[in-house]
Amino acid sequence: MAFIGAVKFLLQHLLLLCLFNYLPFSQGKQNWNEGYPFIRRASSLGYNGKSGGYDYIIVGGGTAGCPLAATLSKKFKVLVLERGGVPFNNPNVSFLHNFHITLADTSPTSASQYFISTDGVLNARGRVLGGATSINAGFYTRADPRFIRKVGWDTKLVNESYPWVEKQIVHRPKFSDWQRAVRDGLLAAGVSPFNGFTYDHKYGTKVGGTIFDRFGRRHTAAELLASANPHKLTVLIHATVQKIVFDTKGKRPKATGVIFKDENGKQHEAYLGNDRQSEVIVSSGALGTPQLLLLSGIGPKAELQKLNIPVVLDNQFVGKGMADNPMNTIFVPSKRPVQQSLIETVGITNLGVYIETSSGFGQSKDSIHCHHGILSAEIGQLSTIPPKQRSREAVKAYVKSKRDIPVEAFRGGFILSKVANPWSTGELKLINTNVEDNPAVTFNYFSHPYDLKRCVEGIRLAIKVVQTEHVTNYTLCERENAEKMLNLSVKANINLIPKHPNDTKSVEQFCRDSVITIWHYHGGCHVGKVVNSEHKVLGVDRLRVVDGSTFSESPGTNPQATVMMMGRYMGLKILRDRLGKLAGI
């Protein structure tokens, strides 16, 4: 009773606690700066606030930006501007058992910046060195070879770039009993063959890599900076880029530098050197990159003029073609204790859906039990509250309804069904000229009937997996019919929140009402529309984009491997194109 009483006390204070990353930054990895002497606070630029002569200015030290910077610094002077802090001394980022806490933290200093699409789906974007690799579920798997051919990348260079990442930060998962049961359930449900442990994208069931090591410590893209030349690289944290600066006197606008603010709100300027091959490279992610281009005057003229943004280049395609892979989940209760595991097993089907699984909750002694909150990863992000009803008021009502429910009631796992390559797309628009505010983004989930059709097939397959003896033998629960299973999924984590009356009888309605994200959104700066095949921004000079905003689909079952590889790949390609044999790399 004392334990349940303690949980009740914690739940009563959940909403307040979840607004702050309560663990002090002094905990976790100590003296991290000894290995990264080039990382400094943005205010370290000094009184005049100006610095120049850089060969490359990279906006965003995230999933692509870190490997890109490490590579380019081998030969050139590089400046990286990252709006967040470092992941190394933040235990909520570093440890698997605290995975849910950063996602539940909606404070201005969180490593995860909370946003809601206009569809109503809760989402998150990285706000820390290492980007999304610092806040995600860690799954590592390469792209489908078809994707590599489609984007026109050099296969040989791609196959050099993936291992560079893997040798530094990727690990083989410990593989829990829950993951083993789901693996066997996938095979029994016909998702075959079993391809074992592999980074490769192959039809069937497989176990992928993870950026969590065997001790449960996360290794992010920020650690790839350890491969940099420390004498040619400067990384400024808490440096929020306001806009790209252009010289518009010539025939074509030319990027010359950027304006950014430090942690104290002081404005600074950073400039490129005089070499015409020097560049500003934007690696701010699928939300941050189109947002920054728009704020800098590149985008649809009419939209820019509404916000009094001087037009540098009229391009109607900036912010268009945004997509997010819709995900739906089946909650699977268990009568036996379930060890916490994130994504390790995946079923790659020919239906156009991927089936994955996670289980358990972080139960570290430091946990504030945010897994009971709507914003957490395991319950909140996997909630089935209809999108339009996911509000802060819903959070309060949800927390109140959970006060008398002990942690043990949430023993179990989730089977996740993700629609691959959605045909439904949307757009991103500015709501104001403050770069720190999220833009308005619409994904239009299931607006195309083919996506809904695949969601239905995915949910039916997920139910089939749950009904196999491999899963029921593990959970010690009886085999349930489809409607009861959907009902369990709806009631497991929303209780009194109103729902569509048909959402457990109609799989189509269940898909619409329970759609969530798996954080694989992309687009907004497509190749051929905003950038060329070399990722140089069309219509301007000395400006390039290297991140997932250029993708028309999310690569593989999880994009992080390919985005990190992309940073290395583009870095190598830039060096070789610029220096030829002298690149020596």
Residues recognised as catalytic: 520
Contact 326, 515 (CB under 8 A): yes
Strands 320-322 and 313-314: unpaired
Cβ-based neighbour number of residue 442 at 10 Å: 16
In the chain, the largest separation of any two C-alpha atoms, in whole Å, equals 75
The torsion angle over the Cα atoms of residues 464, 469, 471 and 475, rounded to 10 degrees, is 130
Q: Please state, in angstroms and rounded to a whole number, the distance separating the CA atoms of residues 506 and 491.
A: 16
Using DSSP's 3-state secondary structure scheme, residue 13 falls into coil
Strands of 353-359's sheet in order across: 194-197, 204-207, 345-348, 353-359, 412-419, 326-333, 516-517
Measured CA to CA, the distance from residue 327 to residue 312 in angstroms comes to 38
Flag whether 291 is marked binding: no
CA distance 255 to 247: 6
What are the residue ranges of helices labelled H in 105-172?
145-151, 155-169
83 annotated to a ligand binding site = yes
Spell out the residues 6+ positions from residue 488 whose beta carbon is closer than 8 angstroms to its own.
Answer: 331, 333, 480
Angle at 164 between CA 158 and CA 169, to 5 degrees: 130
**Binding site annotation covers 82?**
yes
CB neighbour burial string for 381-415, b if at least 16 within 10 angstroms, e if fewer: bbbbbbbeebeeebbebbbeebeeeebeebbbbbb
In DSSP terms, 527 is beta-bridged to 531
Q: Which two tokens stand for residue 114?
A: 């909370």
Quote the distance between the C-alpha of residue 355 and its chain's center.
18
Angstrom distance (rounded) from CA 111 to CA 134? 8
Does 548 count as an annotated binding residue? yes
The secondary structure of 531-548, three-state, reads ECCCCEECCCECEEECCH
Structure tokens at 250: 């010539």
Query: Is 520 part of any known ligand binding site?
Result: yes
CA distance 101 to 112: 10
Tell me which residue has tokens 């299931």.
446
Strand partners, 544: 281, 536
Contacts of residue 470, Cβ cutoff 8 Å, sequence gap at least 6? 181, 182, 184, 185, 188
Beta strand 39-41 pairing with 233-237: parallel
Alpha carbon distance, N-terminus to C-terminus of the chain: 63
Q: How far apart are CA 323 and CA 461, in angstroms?
A: 24
Helix, strand, coil share of the chain (percent; to 5): 35, 20, 45
Alpha-carbon span 60 to 457, nearest angstrom = 38
Q: Is 160 annotated as a binding residue?
A: no
Residue 128, annotated as binding a ligand: yes
* CA 525, chain centre distance (Å): 17
> What is the identity of the amino acid at 359?
S
Which residue numbers belong to the known binding site for FAD? Answer: 82-83, 128, 241, 519-520, 548, 559-560
Which residue numbers belong to the known binding site? Answer: 82-83, 128, 241, 519-520, 548, 559-560
